[in-house]
Amino acid sequence: MKRLVLFVVLSLFAAPVFADEAQLVKENSIQSRIDHVGVNLLNHNRLTKRIIFTYDKKEKKKALATDKALTKRQVIIYDGLYQHVQTDDELAAMLAREIATAMKSYDGTFGGWIDSAQVALGSKKFETVSDKRAVDYLVNAGYNPLAVIVFINKTCPQKRHDKFSRHNLTSKRLARVYEYITYKYPQYLENNEYINNEYYQNFLLTSVENRKKLAEKIRTKSTKDVKYE
């Protein structure tokens, strides 16, 4: 009886150790997956600058924290965002946006300091640039660029307006990415693997007006920027 009690006590004391190990295994597997997809993107795009990827258990970035993609060329993936990722395409979409930002920090004078400051201050403009570059990176690495649309549609909320904001309206970002894919990579829309994806269908549903504007631009062969809503 005493032995049995002793065994139970010991196994209960050992339980937290196993719990920690399970947590470590989980984090390690997430980090490995992020590294695998991230380095795949870097290599397939033949990006000759160093960028690393780090998984962070925190829900999201602190409000006043600096963007480490710009300061350290370190892409931080927060758990809150990672939880939205289902496929490797979507993970690649998330990483490719950050890679585009980190690559920008290598340009320009003072070791890229000035350009980094510009990206941070003019984040609205570079948000669109990052989205577009992400599409290119995905295509070059063999991922489906429509995942960028799906990922943004799932993760970015829709604000009321963006006149005085440092970020674009999500609907505008999605419309611009869709336009970019329409012009540069129409084959992905013709043989659309995402046509049965519910998140992509939700984007199609919520972007009818913007897509009508794009159709008009294509019909008139205009090169002017479309004013999306």
Partner 1 sequence: MNRIFAFVLSLAILLTPTMGLAQSVPEVMPIAESVEVTESEVKTLPYNFESVYRVPIKLSITEKITTKGQTLTEGQTIQFRVVKDTYCKRKTFLKKDTIVNAKIETVISAGMNGFPAEIIVGDFEIPGARPTQLVDTYVKKGQNRCYVVYPIKWALTIIPFVGSLTNLIMGGNAKIKPSDEVVIYYYPDWK
Nearer to partner 1, 32 or 158 (CB): 32
Tell the smallest beta-carbon distance from residue 125 to partner 1 (Å).
Answer: 5
The one among 57, 60, 125, 166 contacting partner 1 by CB under 8 A: 125
Residue 19 touching partner 1 (CB under 8 A):
yes
Nearer to partner 1, 52 or 129 (CB): 129
Alpha-carbon dihedral angle through residues 126, 132, 136, 141, given to the nearest 10 degrees: 80
Q: How many CB atoms lie within 10 A of CB 164?
A: 5
Per rule CB under 8 A, count of chain residues that contact partner 1: 42
Residue 122 touching partner 1 (CB under 8 A):
yes
CA–centroid distance for 200 within its chain: 16
The one among 46, 62, 160, 163 contacting partner 1 by CB under 8 A: 46
Residue 80 touching partner 1 (CB under 8 A):
no
Residue 224 touching partner 1 (CB under 8 A):
yes
**Which one, of 192, 195, 150, 141, lies nearest residue 174 by Cα?**
150
Q: What does the alpha-carbon distance between residue 183 and residue 126 come to, in Å, rounded to a whole number? A: 20
Residue 26 touching partner 1 (CB under 8 A):
yes
Interface region with partner 1, contact rule CB under 8 A, candidates 65-73, 121-129, 195-203, 206-214? 121-129
Tell the smallest beta-carbon distance from residue 216 to partner 1 (Å).
Answer: 15
Interface region with partner 1, contact rule CB under 8 A, candidates 128-136, 145-153, 162-170, 188-196? 128-136
Residue 8 touching partner 1 (CB under 8 A):
yes
Q: Which residues bind partner 1 (CB under 8 A)?
A: 2, 5-6, 8-9, 12-13, 15-16, 18-19, 22-23, 25-26, 29-30, 32-33, 36, 43-44, 46, 48, 107-108, 114, 117-118, 121-122, 125, 129, 132-133, 136, 180, 183-184, 223-225
